[in-house]
Structure 1
Amino acid sequence: MNDAIDSRFLELHRVRARGAHRDLGRALGRWGAEACHRHLVRSDAWAQVMACRDRPEIPAMRALLHAAFPWIEEELAGLAEGLELPPDEVFLWNSRGDLWALAPDGCTTVLAPRRLSHNEDGDPGFAGACGLLEAQPAGAPAFAAFVYPGSLPGHTFAVNASGLAMTVNNIRARRAEAGMPRMALTRALLAAGSAREAVSILQAHPRMGAFHLGLGQAGQAQTWSVEFSRTAVSVRLVAGAPLLHANHAIHEAQQALPQVITASSAHRQARGEALLAQDVPALAILTDTEDAAEPILRRSPADTDQENTLATADIDLSGPIARWAVYAPGATAPHHRFEGLRRL
C-alpha cells in the first residue's frame, strides 16, 4: 500500500446531523450542495438518469415508498431542500440503479467471520467531496456512514447503534418491474437491530433494483452475504472460508437475473478469489493492482466503468462493539477510527 497518494482522496468531510428525518435530509443537502452543483448535475450520469423521468414505473415506485417508509420520503424532501434541486430530480437520482443499469457505483467487499472489509468505488468527480456522516435521527438508531453528495445514506458502508455493520455493492440488474427503490431499502436497513431483521425488511417489500450486502453484528461469529433483486433475496452465511464480492450477482438463487457484468467486475471477482485461495489478507486484496487493466484498487482516470476507489473500510466485529477504520485508497494507516459510533 502506498501513502503517497493524491491528497484529494484523503479528504472525507465530517458530517453531523440530528433531529427529524426532514432535518437530517436538509443537513445532508446543505453539506453536499456545492459538489452537486459543481459536478453532479453537469455529469453524464445525471443526464442519463434524468432522461428516465417519464418511465411508467416511477409513480408506483413513489407510492410504494410513501406507503412503507414515509420517513425516508421526508429525508428525500429535506435533501432536495438542502441541495436546492427539484424534489422529483432528487428522487430520480436516488433511484438511479433501479432505472439505469450502468450507474457509476462499484465496490469490492471481502467477507469473513467477524469481519467486513470494503472498497468504496464511485464517481471520481466526487473525490475529496465525500463524507463520513454521524447521524442521530429522532426515534431511530444512530449510525455512521460514508455518504456521497446528493444521495441518501445507506448504500455504501455503515455501522449503527445496534452494532449492525453493512457494506453495499452495486449489482447492475437490467430493467425490472416497478418496486421499492433499492437505496430506500438500504436506508431502511440502517434502522434495523440485527442482520436477521435487515433480511426480513428486504423480504417484506417488492424490490426493483439489485444490491449485494455484507451484513454483520458485533459479537457474532458469522457475517451474511445477501443479494437482493426483483425475484429473490438470497443469503449465504460466512462462518468459515472468506468470500469476495464485486459487482455482479453470484448466488445460485440469482442465476437467472438479467444483469450487466462489466470487465472490471469480472476481473476483480476472479482476481480476488484467486488471492483468497492464497490466504492473502483482506486489506492486501483490496489494494491489489496486479491486473493493471482492471485492478481491485481503482485509481485510473481511464477506469473502464468510470469509477475510482474513494475509501476503504475495515470493520472488526469480533468484540461486543464494532471496531472499524476508514483508509484513504491504498494507504497503510487509517485516517478515521471508530469504536462503535465513537470516533477515536
Structure 2
Amino acid sequence: MGAQVREQELAGMRWLVVSGERDDVFRALGRVAHADVHAVQEALPERHALRGWAATERGRIRVERLLDATRAACGRQLGELRALAAGAGADFEDLLLANLRGDLGVDDGTGCTDLGWRGTRSYVAHNEDGAPALDGHLMLLTLLVDGDVPVTVQWYPGFLPANTFTATGHGLVWGINHVQAARPAHAPGRHFVARAMQQAPTLGAAVDHLRSRPSAGGFAYTIGDRADGRVVVVESAAGRTAVMEADADHPLHWHTNHLRHLPVPPDASGAATADASDAARAARSLGPYEESVARGEVLAGLQPPVGGPAAQWFLDVLTSAPLPHGVHRTAAGADPLMTLCSVVADLTDDRITVRGPAGSTADLPLSAFARGEAGTVSP
C-alpha cells in the first residue's frame, strides 16, 4: 500500500505524521520533505569541507571504519537513512557524512540545553538550538512504523530523526546535547545509536542500550520515564558512558555541551567537573566551549521555587533571556545560533508544552504528542 502521510501544525511548526512499513515510511518522508532535505544540506557550513576530507585517504579510511561499526550495531537505522535519501533524491553519501560529522573528530560547534527534575513531580525540558538558516526547516515528525511503538521527534530534514528531543509510546522522553569528541572511538555513529534507542521499553533499558552501544562521538541524554518519574543524565562519548540520576538530594540536573560526569573526559574541553566555575576556568582558553560553560554557569545558579517548580518555571528558564542572564539563543552579536524550539515535558501530569521559534506556544497530553495526535491542543 505504501506509507500514509498526514500534515498538521503545532506552535507554528510543521508536523508530519508518517505511518506504514519501515522502508516505505522513510521513502515517503524523503519525498514529502524533499525541498527541506536539500535546503538543510545546502545550509550546513561544513558540507564542502566534509566532502573534501572524506575524499582523502585518511578520511576515507575513518569513514569506512565508522560505517562498518555502524552497520554491525545499527544496520536497520542505516537502512532508514538510505531509504530517506532515496525518497528525497539526495546523495546517500552526503547524508551519511552529515549524520556522522560528530563522530569524525570534526568541530561541530555547540548548541542545546537540557534540564531534568525529579522531586514530588518530574520534568524534562529542552532547548533546540540551531543555525538561523535552519529556521523554518526544523519540524515535528511522528513515525508510526509497523511493529514499532510510536515516536515523535524534532526533526532536521536529511538527518536520521534522533539527535534532538524525543517522546516515545513507551512513555520515555529525552533531550540530547551535542558533545564534541576530540578522539572518537571505533564505535557506531551517535545518531544511529540514538535512533535505535527509541524502541527501549523502559528507562533502565534505554540506559542499558547506551552502555552496551557506546557511540563514536558524543551525546549527553537527559531521559525521563512517565511510568515511574525517574530522570537520569547519560553522557555517552568516545566509547564511554557515565550515568547520573536525579534524586531527593539532587533533584535538578542540567546539561549543555561539555562533559560533566565522565572522568578525564574525551571531549574537546580537555577538562570535566560538576563545578561550573572550575569548568569555566578550564574552558576560557578554548573559544568553542566558552559559550557552553557560560550557559552551564547560569543553570548552576538556578534557585527552584520552594515546594518545587512547575512547567512554566522551566519554560521561563529556557526562553526568558540570552546570556549572560539566561540560556535562550538569539543569533545576536557573536552568537551564531538561535533557539528553534523549546519543550517542557511534565511526566507527572502527562503534559507537554511546545514553544516554536516565533514564540507561539501549545500544550497537549504528552502521550498524545508521542502518537502524533494534535486534536487535544490548548494554547
Same fold (TM over 0.5): yes
Amino acid at match of 2:48: A
Pairing partner for 1:77 from 77, 82, 95: 82
Deviation, structure 1 residue 27: 2.7
Cα deviations by residue, 1:210-258 (Å, 9 ceiling, x for unpaired):
100011111313201110112421110012321111111111x243323
Amino acid at match of 2:37: C
Equivalent in the alignment of 1:316 = 346
Per mean C-alpha deviation after superposition, the further-off stretch among 45-54 and 202-211 is 45-54
Deviation, structure 1 residue 177: 3.2
Amino acid at match of 1:17: V
Pairing partner for 2:264 from 235, 255, 259: 255
Amino acid at match of 1:282: F
d(CA) in 1 for partners of 2:27, 2:105: 26
Equivalent in the alignment of 1:286 = 318
Cα deviations by residue, 1:23-43 (Å, 9 ceiling, x for unpaired):
222233223321333353254
The answer to whether the 8 Å contact 2:167/2:174 transfers is yes
Per mean C-alpha deviation after superposition, the further-off stretch among 230-239 and 59-68 is 59-68
Cα deviations by residue, 1:33-59 (Å, 9 ceiling, x for unpaired):
213333532542222333342422221
Equivalent in the alignment of 2:354 = 326
Tell me the number of residue pairs that the alignment of Structure 1 and Structure 2 aligns: 330
Equivalent in the alignment of 1:242 = 252
% identical aligned pairs: 24
d(CA) in 2 for partners of 1:78, 1:23: 8
Per mean C-alpha deviation after superposition, the further-off stretch among 275-284 and 38-47 is 275-284
Pairing partner for 1:273 from 297, 300, 304: 300
Query: Is 1:11 aligned to residue 12 of structure 2?
Result: yes
Runs of 4 or more consecutive aligned structure 1 residues displaced over 6 Å after TM superposition: 277-280
Equivalent in the alignment of 2:272 = none
Deviation, structure 1 residue 277: 6.4
The answer to whether the 8 Å contact 1:35/1:126 transfers is no
Name structure 1 gaps, 5 residues minimum: 1-8
TM-score under structure 1 length normalisation: 0.88
Give the 5 Å matches for 1:1-344.
11-54=12-55, 55=59, 56-103=61-108, 106-113=111-118, 114-240=122-248, 241-251=251-261, 253-260=262-269, 262-276=289-303, 281-289=313-321, 291=323, 295-304=326-335, 306-319=336-349, 322-329=350-357, 331=359, 334-335=361-362, 337-340=364-367, 341=371, 342-343=373-374, 344=376
- Judged with a 3 Å threshold, the aligned counterparts in structure 2 of structure 1 residues 219 and 205 are, in CA distance, closer, same or farther, namely closer
d(CA) in 2 for partners of 1:254, 1:101: 22
SS at match of 2:215: coil
Amino acid at match of 1:300: A
Deviation, structure 1 residue 302: 3.9
Amino acid at match of 1:75: E
SS at match of 2:30: helix
SS at match of 1:275: coil
- Judged with a 3 Å threshold, the aligned counterparts in structure 2 of structure 1 residues 121 and 254 are, in CA distance, closer, same or farther, namely farther
The answer to whether the 8 Å contact 1:101/1:175 transfers is no
Name structure 2 gaps, 5 residues minimum: 1-9, 270-287
- Judged with a 3 Å threshold, the aligned counterparts in structure 2 of structure 1 residues 59 and 326 are, in CA distance, closer, same or farther, namely same
d(CA) in 2 for partners of 1:290, 1:104: 18
Amino acid at match of 1:317: L
Per mean C-alpha deviation after superposition, the further-off stretch among 255-264 and 112-121 is 255-264
Per mean C-alpha deviation after superposition, the further-off stretch among 143-152 and 255-264 is 255-264
Cα deviations by residue, 1:140-187 (Å, 9 ceiling, x for unpaired):
211111101111112111111111111111111213233100000100
RMSD, aligned α-carbons = 2.3
d(CA) in 1 for partners of 2:198, 2:183: 26
Cα deviations by residue, 1:109-146 (Å, 9 ceiling, x for unpaired):
11101210111111221111111111111222111111
